[in-house]
Amino acid sequence: MGSPDMTSVSVSFEVRRQLNSMRALENYQSVDELLQHLLKVYRLNKLNRDSESLQDSLKSLNDVDVNSLVSKLDLSPFKE
């Protein structure tokens, strides 16, 4: 972003400058709108990664005999 001896004020100005440049390149009306879009994209990507992870975990459960597992855990709701 800049030199290591930049102050927090100069870093803030540099960040603001970069955000305004990104806003202008993508034709957003405001930096807030740009940040909202970036957060939305980040969250959607995170959800997709989590979803893929869950799907992989569910695939590994395909070979599990549920009835046997329930009886072993003694959790059957239909106990006699």
- How far apart (Å, rounded) are the C-alpha atoms in residues 27 and 66? 54
CA distances from 25 to 16, 31, 41 (A): 14, 12, 17
Element (H, E) at 52: helix 31-60
Higher pLDDT, 65 or 55: 55
CB atoms within 10 A of CB 38: 14
pTM for the structure as a whole: 0.57
Question: Tens digits of per-residue pLDDT, 8-54?
Answer: 667 688 888 999 999 999 899 988 899 999 999 999 999 999 999 99
pLDDT for 77 beyond 80: no
DSSP 28: -
The domain locations on the chain are 10-52
